[in-house]
Amino acid sequence: MQKKKRRIVILAEGYFGDLDGKTASGLIMYKPQEVVAVIDSTQVGKSAQDVLGFGGDIPLVGNLADSLKYGPNALLIGIAPRGGKLPPEWRDVVREALSNGLDVINGLHDLLNDDPEFSKLAKSKGARIHDLREASRYDTVAIGDPSLIEAKVILTVGSDCKTGKKVTAVELAREAKKHGWNPHFVATGQSGIAIFGEGVPIDSIIGDFMSGAIEEHLIEKSKTYDLLCVEGQGTIVHPGYSGVTLALIHGSLPDAMILCHYPGRERVKSYQVKIPALQEMIKLHEDLTRPIKLCRVIGISLNTQELSEEEARAEIEKVEEGTGLPAIDPVRFGCDKLIEALERLKR
């Protein structure tokens, strides 16, 4: 997927700029040069900058045909519906993309290479389908020996989905680089894999092999890097995804965790579950890792995008007082506050 220069049109119909369109906004944040257009018929005529506050003049168009004049060579399915199924109305868009010789980058659980119509069409047009969640190759049980990972591992965990776990890990890796580390961001979800072109699609691996998959990846990456910033998934109190969350915690055997939280969110997204207090969440994560490896939560990452700057600073202060830990919003204020905590891991 990384061989030819990507010129991507993102399908984000109805969701661009929304938390549910985070693959689209993430790609534009980190790889704007790879995006030629975004499909969202509800916002035609605007630019990425208009909607996101970054991304420059990447245009929003109403459909795939209108994007072709920008010369895309790939369509990215840039939103992730619950359950990861391809909505019927998107079949036409995928068909049209393949018919025009565009690759399709697909992060859904539904694997498009398994779809006879699409795989045949792709073949006939010389296009490729990249199913980011194809996970049948993972078939090992975790070894569970932290000494095999020859780098420090930082895992972002969260009080819910969509709290900033990916962004925090990416930003931490960027900041650590400035301070002499040789860091690497490890994507574990379809958004991160779509953006950076590699990772472990942990939520698509069968139960027994989830931990083994991330462990194996980290052992390999630790031969090249000295700091692995791993993107967490879900939350340990999520009714549907907690198994993935814990497999990632135990499979990555982190040296430290950063707890990500969306201030003001009281219940787990789409559920009635009340999010426990941050202090309780910290304790629960440390209690769960202790039997396998001593691992502390060393900082809190807050997604303050809906707050004013003043409110955000007040929230950060409140959280620091309540938890006794440094708190950051990595997008808004950077994450240099965490660098000192990282340095302590070296000792």
Shortest Cβ 131–its own copies spacing (Å):
13
CB atoms within 10 A of CB 99: 14
236 binds its own copies (CB under 8 A): yes
> For residue 163, with 0-12 CB atoms within 10 Å meaning exposed, 13-18 middle and 19 or more buried, which class applies?
buried
Among 29, 50, 70, 84, binds its own copies (CB under 8 A): 84
172 binds its own copies (CB under 8 A): no
Among 79, 108, 132, 205, binds its own copies (CB under 8 A): 205
User: DSSP per residue over 293-333, as a string?
Assistant: ---EEEEEEE--TTS-HHHHHHHHHHHHHHHSS-EE-HHHH
Q: Which is nearer to its own copies, 127 or 236 (CB)?
A: 236
Among 97, 173, 187, 202, binds its own copies (CB under 8 A): 202
119 binds its own copies (CB under 8 A): no
Nearest-angstrom CA–CA distance, 82 and 20: 10
Q: Is residue 188 a contact partner of residue 251, using CB atoms and an 8 Å limit?
A: no
Q: Is 199 helix (H, G, I), strand (E, B) or coil?
A: coil
Rg of the Cα trace of the chain? 20
Among 240, 265, 332, 336, binds its own copies (CB under 8 A): 240
117 binds its own copies (CB under 8 A): no
Segment interacting with its own copies, rule: CB under 8 A, options 16-24, 54-62, 167-175, 243-251: 243-251
CA atoms within 13 A on the CB side of 40: 24
6 binds its own copies (CB under 8 A): no
Site of interaction with its own copies (CB under 8 A): 82-85, 109, 135, 139-145, 202-208, 210-212, 236-248, 250-251, 253, 271-276, 284, 287-288, 291-292
